[in-house]
Amino acid sequence: MQFTLLASAFALAATAIASPSSYGEKCVTQKQADHIVSQVINIFGHLPNVNAANKTAQALLSSDFTEYSDSILSLQSRPLTGDGLTADKAEWIAGIVGRPGIDGIETLYTSPAGCHEVVWFFSFNNLAAATYRVRGFNLITLNSKNTQIKKLELEFNSIAWGLDDGELPCNFTAKA
């Protein structure tokens, strides 16, 4: 009898651990994660055109969208305060679709991370001068229905980015 109770308890615990959500919540799937990343790439790349990228961004980003990035703050010579980068969704979209699209974006890895997050490891291979590849990670937080992006937490090789697009002087040398 004790063995049966113990075995049942272990089975119940294993089920709870294996399931990312114990409350019947629908967690993001690999297929959804891949689709979200594909849409983000289309926005950054203005694919198939800038108007389509704008429309995708309007639908994909939640009304309370925020982006965080120490990499971007450092390129802008701003303090690393942990504050969001843009005032709102509209400002972020204008900043993305208002500059040239980025081509040569390569997904190195995409994975669900918990119920409402996606990890995207990327390489931007043709940024501006394309002298340096820019690799980075984006932790994408989705809304409770996994249909819209609430938050992007983006970190990347900001020195390579700055050298490629001219934000850092060409005589800049990284030192250990």
Closest CA relative to residue 119, chosen from 109, 131, 104, 128: 109
Q: How far apart are CA 109 and CA 119, in angstroms?
A: 8
Torsion of CA 10, 14, 17, 19, to 10 degrees: -140
48: preceding bond cis by omega (within 30 degrees) = yes
Specify the higher pLDDT residue, 117 or 13.
117
Tokens of 145: 């229905």
Lowest-confidence segment of 57-61, 86-90, 134-138 by average pLDDT: 86-90
pTM above 0.85, yes or no: no
User: Which contiguous run of DSSP H or E holds residue 67?
Assistant: strand 61-68
Q: Which domains does the chain have, with CATH numbers?
A: 26-165 (3.10.450.50)
